[in-house]
């Protein structure tokens, strides 16, 4: 992937993880990654429409997954897709915790472990929510 594409993806995301919304500036030790929303092994491309900026934590837990189980009813549910979905329609930040408002939101929060203790503490420390 060329440098221009990397820069475009970072700028489009406002230098924030497109899943948990934590800023790269709040985690200077880690380098946020350009991830394939649909992994190459599932036919995903290098097009901007398939690329998102992700913190290492979200990217590690998402991996190549496209779906997860909704914790409400265990139904197989798509994960949040930053190019197709609107964050505010699927998630709400209540204090330092991210709450899923829809099946997609709940499934993504659970699968990406968005409310892991260290992530919640970081959001609390930076005053998110």
CA 57 – CA 112 distance, rounded (Å)? 8
What is the mean pLDDT of the segment spanning 83-90? 98
Alpha-helical segments (H) within the chain: 3-12, 56-62, 87-90, 103-111, 117-126
Q: Where are the domains of the chain?
A: 3-126
pLDDT digits (tens, 9 = 90+) for 108-127: 999 999 999 999 999 999 88
pTM over 0.75: yes
Residue 129: band (very low, low, confident or very high) from pLDDT cuts 50, 70, 90: low
pLDDT digits (tens, 9 = 90+) for 38-58: 999 999 999 999 999 999 999
């Amino acid at each position: 992937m060329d440098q221009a594409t990397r820069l475009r993806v970072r700028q489009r995301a406002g230098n924030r993880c497109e899943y948990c919304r934590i800023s790269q500036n709040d985690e200077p030790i880690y380098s946020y990654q350009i991830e394939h929303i649909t992994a190459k092994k599932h036919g995903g491309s290098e097009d901007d429409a398939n690329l998102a900026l992700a913190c290492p934590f979200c990217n590690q837990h998402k991996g190549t997954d496209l779906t997860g189980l909704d914790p409400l009813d265990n139904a197989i549910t798509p994960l949040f897709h930053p190019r197709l979905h609107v964050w505010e329609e699927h998630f709400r930040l209540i204090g330092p915790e991210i709450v899923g408002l829809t099946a997609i939101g709940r499934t993504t929060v659970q699968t990406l472990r968005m409310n892991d203790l260290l992530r919640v503490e970081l959001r609390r420390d930076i005053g998110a929510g």
